[in-house]
């Protein structure tokens, strides 16, 4: 098995000269972006005023990124490859920007940054400069799908891009600092889920340059055999290229790419002609070159960011910078106008074959709508409110099964071993879990062609789905509500990408990132406190209003309507929270559809204020809070029949904000009409109560808003005991009404006491019998629709 390459010289002298010239040009442009704001081609001696006052950027990884980009360009042209480039090593932004400018794509998309001396000056000045572009491979950079500012996710993004993209090669450069992160370590086994017959290929390239910001990297310092054995254990065939002699590294890297790409072509040809989809041994390239190669402090951590500092104050530093820049011989690389000379311009591919112009790296440009079956035909028949009981996510599973059938090449369901647990197992009537490792008798629903992708890592599920969406496909991530927090920071990065790309004209909208969170806080009876946390909503709501949406459908029919909307939407982060346990069905399919379109509304069949002003508003958001609110309304109807109660259900949480704060926000006049301007509002909410106050603090009646929700009280207990622990139960809601409707405080004292007693009675019953009292489990809404 090959791990190192025999001495080889696949490059002719002409090819070697062309590659080296291109590499020097990319390095020159990279250094120029970090340092210069004028005199881009050194037409005159370098002066202090030519140098930026604030030096920002990362040089250390850049020469390696430039070298790999150049060699990939050679391979793309030679083999007519359809390839994109994923940049894992942190802030390698100036290197990739340099290559996109050399390829011409950057100037096509940003005409002011033209391929001449004036454009080069703008290219240099804008980098990490106020009003310019970021230091990493951000959304503004053509060809990028991976920002790289937060380390660990490059390889999972690459595999997500390859799923269902059979002709795509994803070259993924992994920094050796990045390789130390847990998510990246988990990502190596993504090859277990990559089918060579239907998916594209990922070529991981581990770039060992030895250092992070101030420390050596682990994979560079362990014995070579240990590293290569590790990669073999993950199922790869490693090809090692190492050295600091330019010509030898060029030849060795060209040979490595040739061997690796031959391997990939052979693997895919075998799988696609024979039908053999057993897990192959994919190639990986390990390239060890000096940190900051060709620059000051080469081979040390001092080259990580800006190797020369204080240039405006230090003549010697200024001299060293000019010497460094001139070492690339820019007069050989750029013509009199500042454009790349023919030898440099001839290396990259043309048109869409350029990695910076590949349509898959601008996923919205290749996005096709899903074929969605009519969700209305999957709904629960509801003859009366509350009947029959249904499992919302199980009903949804039947619809998702047929979504999968109708979209075998552009839709996947991702989850950390929880698809069946979350009652979506109907999808296995249409597909398997994709899995290419060994399968044994007794395994269920495993196959090479599955559209369900499950692995016990929220990081991998998130990263795969992001890569899948960013390259023009659709998907859903289903998870337990409490553990979606594992990917909080990944959601941050994706939401930022969506926010930024909304303002980039050439970036086309992509399919929304859809979360379906079940096994939620109120129904963790056997798992307990460790599985109880509804705070992901709060986290998401912190993101920009134009990209986040939060939905809390109260039953199966509203869940169907909500998910249909989410799968049709574009460029959002949609969070849908729905229970998997049996619960009441409140709305007919027609009612559910109208209710979801409104986002919130009065449930007139549950209210007693028809034609009059209410004495109190009972509001709710979430399936369990809705049930407790309706049970409280039922108690009030029976014990205080003269009380005028208005029941309001909220599906779209962002409707609570003013329209000035969120595109879905309800205008103040409509909000005041529904929630009144002066009556008590008792709001039963799925999550932490403070969020509702935050969303409504500008509303006229905020002072009369009282929210019940999760108070960080939980344990392994019964469903009703769980809501009692957090004062969200029906009895406590009735107490809240009595305490807040002024003329009830005295005359309803007896009822208040009976509610306190009922709570205690139910608590005692659970402690004695281990289950909820019959008055809870047997309660049904007994009122017909008006």
Residue 525: what pLDDT?
A: 60
pLDDT score, position 1 = 38
pLDDT in tens, 598-615: 999 999 999 999 889 999
- Tell me the chain's radius of gyration from C-alpha atoms: 30
Over range 763-776, report the average pLDDT.
94
484, pLDDT greater than 50: yes
Where is 559: in which H helix or E strand? helix 556-568
Take residue 770 and report the two structure tokens written for it.
């281990």
Q: SS3 string of 110-156?
A: CCCCCCCHHHHHHHHHHECCCCCECCCCCCCCCCCCCCCCCCCCHHH
Residue in 374, 407, 664, 633 with CA at minimum distance from that of residue 511: 407
**Could you tell me if residue 639 is left (phi over 0), alpha (psi between -120 and 50 degrees) or otherwise beta?**
alpha
Q: Which helix (H) or strand (E) holds 446?
A: strand 446-447
Work out the percent of the chain whose per-residue pLDDT is above 90. Answer: 88
Tokens of 288: 């060890």
Q: How far is CA 473 from the centre of its chain?
A: 13
Please, which residues bridge with residue 242 across strands? 288
Beta partners for residue 206, in sequence order: 174, 286
Q: How far is CA 622 from CA 399, 520, 530, 551, 559, in A?
A: 21, 10, 21, 9, 11
Per-residue model confidence as pLDDT tens digits over 314-361: 999 999 999 999 999 999 999 999 999 999 999 999 999 999 999 999
CA dihedral 360, 343, 320, 99 (to 10 degrees): -10
User: Comparing 513-527, 574-588, 647-661, 713-727, which segment has the lowest mean pLDDT?
Assistant: 513-527
Residue 308: half-sphere exposure toward Cβ, Cα within 13 Å: 24
Structural element, H or E, at residue 776: helix 774-777
Q: Taking residues 14-32, what's their average pLDDT?
A: 97
Q: How many residues does the chain have?
A: 786
Could you tell me which residues come within 8 angstroms of residue 213 by beta carbon, excluding any fewer than 6 positions away? Answer: 177, 301, 304, 305
Residues 6+ apart with CB under 8 A from 669: none
Give me the residue label for tokens 């619809």. 399
Helix (H) and strand (E) counts for the chain?
Answer: 27, 20
Q: Which residue has the tokens 């014990």?
A: 639
Distances (CA, A) of 228 to 220, 287, 437, 645: 11, 12, 21, 70
- Report pLDDT digits (tens) over 378-409: 999 999 999 999 999 999 999 999 999 999 99
Residues 527, 722: contact at Cβ < 8 Å? no
């000379």: which residue's tokens?
Answer: 341
Q: Alpha-carbon distance 339 to 328, whole Å?
A: 16
* Positions of E strands within 224-290: 236-242, 282-288
Residues 229, 231, 232: CA angle, nearest 5 degrees:
60
Average pLDDT over residues 760-784: 91
Lowest mean pLDDT across 195-209, 276-290, 375-389, 702-716: 702-716
Q: From CA 666, how far away is CA 657, in angstroms rounded? A: 6
pTM of the model: 0.95
Confidence of residue 685 (pLDDT cuts 50, 70, 90): very high
Rounded Cα distance, 508 and 499, in Å = 12
10 Å CB burial of residue 236 (0-12, 13-18, 19+) is buried
CB atoms within 10 A of CB 567: 23
3-state helix, strand, coil in the chain (%, to 5): 45, 15, 40
Q: What is the phi/psi pair of residue 340, to 5°?
A: -60, 140
E-state strands within 4-81: none
pLDDT for res 716 = 85
Q: What is the pLDDT of residue 745?
A: 85
DSSP state of 665: P
Torsion on CA atoms 93, 305, 129, 466, rounded to nearest 10: 30
pLDDT digits (tens, 9 = 90+) for 118-132: 999 999 999 999 988
Place of tokens 């209003």: 545
- Give yes or no for a contact between 762 and 719, defined as CB atoms under 8 angstroms apart: no
Q: What are phi and psi of 310, to 5 degrees?
A: 65, 30
**Distance from C-alpha of 16 to C-alpha of 67, rounded to nearest angstrom:** 12
DSSP alpha helix (H) spans, 364-517: 392-406, 458-470, 488-501
Strand partners, 434: 447
Q: Is residue 721 very low, low, confident or very high in pLDDT (cuts 50, 70, 90)?
A: very high
Q: Six-digit token pair at 56?
A: 């920002």
| pLDDT score of 709 more than 70 | yes
Distance of CA 172 to the CA centre of its chain: 18
pLDDT at 522 over 90: no
Q: Give 388's DSSP letter.
A: S
SS3 526: coil
The percentage of the chain sitting over the pLDDT mark of 70, rounded to a whole number, equals 98
First-to-last C-alpha distance (Å) of the chain = 77
Strands 411-415 and 433-434: unpaired
Closest to 409 (Cα-Cα) out of 457, 362, 475, 349:
475
Cα–Cα distance, 55 to 42 (Å, whole number): 18
Query: What residues contact 721, with CB distance under 8 A and at least 6 apart?
Result: 762, 763, 766, 772
Burial of 23 (C-beta count, 10 Å sphere; 0-12/13-18/19+) = buried
Answer whether residue 493 shows pLDDT above 50.
yes
CB-CB contact of 90 with 175 (8 Å): yes
The answer to whether residues 145 and 356 touch, using CB atoms and an 8 Å cutoff, is: no
HSE-up (13 A, CA, CB side) for residue 430: 21
pLDDT tens, position by position, 542-597: 998 899 999 999 999 999 999 999 999 999 999 999 999 999 999 999 999 999 99
DSSP secondary structure string for all residues of 576-607: EE---SEE---S-HHHHHHHHHHSEEE-GGG-
The token duo for 252 is 């060795």
The 3-state DSSP class for residue 517 equals strand
Lowest average pLDDT, out of 430-439, 521-530, 694-703, goes to 521-530
The two tokens of residue 683 are 């709001």
Does position 757 have pLDDT exceeding 50, yes or no?
yes
Measure the CA–CA gap between 742 and 553, rounded to whole angstroms: 32
* pLDDT number for residue 783: 73
Instruction: Quickly state the pLDDT bin for 521 (edges 50, 70, 90).
Output: confident
pLDDT, average across residues 437-442: 92
Instruction: Please name every residue paired with 550 in a beta bridge, in sequence order, or none if there are none.
Output: 575
User: Given a cut of 70, is residue 483 above it in pLDDT?
Assistant: yes
Both tokens assigned to 405: 């059938």
Res 4: pLDDT:
61
> Read out DSSP for 648-659?
EEESBGGGGS-T
- Does the pLDDT at position 779 exceed 50? yes
Cα dist. 407→107, 161, 549 in Å?
37, 17, 24
At residue 784, the pLDDT reads 65
């Amino acid at each position: 098995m090959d791990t190192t390459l025999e001495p080889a010289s696949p490059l002719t002298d002409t090819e070697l000269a062309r590659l080296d010239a291109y590499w020097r040009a990319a390095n020159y442009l990279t250094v120029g972006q970090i340092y210069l704001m004028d005199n881009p081609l050194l037409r005159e001696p370098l002066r202090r005023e030519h140098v930026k006052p604030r030096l920002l950027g990362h040089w250390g990884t850049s020469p390696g990124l430039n070298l790999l980009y150049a060699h990939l360009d050679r391979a793309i042209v030679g083999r007519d490859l359809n390839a994109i480039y994923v940049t894992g090593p942190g802030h390698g932004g100036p290197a990739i920007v340099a290559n996109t400018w050399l390829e011409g794509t950057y100037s096509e998309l940003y005409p002011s940054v033209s391929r001449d001396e004036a454009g080069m000056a703008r290219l240099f000045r804008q980098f990490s400069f106020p009003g310019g572009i970021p230091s990493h491979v951000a959304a503004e950079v053509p060809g990028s799908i991976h920002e790289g500012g937060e380390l660990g996710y490059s390889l999972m993004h690459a595999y997500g891009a390859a799923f269902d993209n059979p002709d795509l090669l994803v070259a993924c450069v992994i920094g050796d600092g990045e390789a130390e992160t847990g998510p990246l370590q988990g990502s190596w086994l993504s090859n277990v889920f990559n089918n060579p017959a239907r998916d594209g290929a990922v070529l991981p390239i581990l770039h060992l340059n030895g250092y992070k910001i101030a420390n050596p990297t682990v994979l560079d310092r362990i014995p070579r055999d240990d590293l290569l054995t590790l990669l073999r254990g993950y199922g790869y065939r490693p090809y090692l290229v190492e050295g600091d002699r330019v010509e030898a590294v060029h030849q060795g890297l060209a040979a490595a790419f040739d061997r690796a790409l031959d391997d990939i072509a052979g693997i895919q040809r075998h799988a696609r002609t024979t039908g053999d989809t057993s897990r192959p041994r994919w190639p990986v390239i390990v390239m060890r070159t000096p940190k900051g190669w060709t620059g000051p402090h080469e081979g040390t951590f001092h080259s990580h960011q800006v190797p020369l500092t204080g240039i405006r104050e230090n003549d010697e530093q200024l001299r060293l910078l000019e010497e460094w820049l001139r070492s690339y011989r820019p007069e050989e690389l750029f013509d009199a106008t500042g454009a790349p000379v023919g030898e440099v311009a001839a290396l990259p591919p043309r048109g869409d074959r350029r990695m910076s112009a590949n349509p898959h790296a601008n996923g919205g440009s290749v996005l096709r709508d899903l074929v969605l079956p009519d969700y209305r035909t999957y709904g629960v028949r509801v003859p009366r409110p509350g009947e029959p009981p249904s499992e919302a996510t199980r009903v949804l599973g039947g619809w998702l099964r047929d979504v999968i059938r109708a979209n075998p090449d552009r839709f996947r369901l991702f989850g950390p071993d929880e698809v069946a647990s979350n009652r979506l197992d109907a999808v296995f009537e249409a597909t398997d879990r994709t899995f290419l490792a060994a399968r044994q008798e007794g395994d269920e629903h495993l196959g090479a062609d599955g559209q369900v992708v499950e692995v016990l890592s929220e990081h991998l599920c998130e990263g795969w789905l992001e890569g899948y969406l960013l390259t023009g496909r659709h998907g859903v991530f289903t998870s337990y509500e409490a553990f979606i927090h594992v990917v909080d920071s990944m959601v941050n990065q994706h939401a930022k990408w969506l926010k930024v790309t909304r303002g980039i004209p050439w970036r086309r909208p992509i399919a929304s990132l859809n979360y379906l969170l079940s096994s939620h806080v109120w129904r963790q009876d056997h798992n307990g406190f460790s599985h109880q946390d509804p705070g992901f909503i709060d986290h998401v709501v912190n993101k920009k209003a134009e990209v986040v949406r939060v939905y809390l459908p109260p039953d199966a029919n509203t869940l169907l309507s909500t998910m249909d909307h989410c799968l049709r939407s574009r460029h959002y982060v949609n969070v849908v929270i729905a229970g998997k346990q049996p619960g009441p069905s409140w709305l007919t399919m027609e009612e559910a559809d109208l209710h979801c379109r409104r986002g919130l509304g009065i449930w007139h069949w549950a209210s007693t204020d028809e034609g009059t002003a209410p004495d109190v508003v009972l509001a709710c958001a979430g399936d369990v809070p809705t049930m407790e609110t309706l049970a409280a309304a039922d108690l009030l109807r029976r014990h205080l029949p003269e009380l005028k109660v208005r029941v309001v259900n909220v599906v779209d949480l962002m409707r609570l904000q003013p329209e000035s704060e969120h595109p879905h926000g309800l205008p103040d006049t409509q909000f005041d009409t529904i929630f009144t301007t002066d009556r008590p509002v008792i709001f039963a909410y799925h999550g932490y109560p403070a969020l509702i106050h935050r969303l409504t603090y500008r509303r006229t009646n905020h002072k009369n808003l009282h929210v019940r929700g999760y108070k960080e009280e939980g344990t392994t207990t019964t469903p009703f005991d769980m809501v009692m622990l957090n004062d969200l139960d029906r009895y406590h809601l009735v107490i809240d009404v009595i305490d807040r409707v002024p003329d009830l405080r005295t005359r309803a004292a007896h009822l208040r006491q009976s509610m306190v007693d009922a709570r205690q009675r139910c608590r005692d019953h659970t402690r004695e019998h281990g289950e909820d009292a019959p008055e809870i489990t047997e309660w049904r809404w007994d009122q017909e629709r008006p």
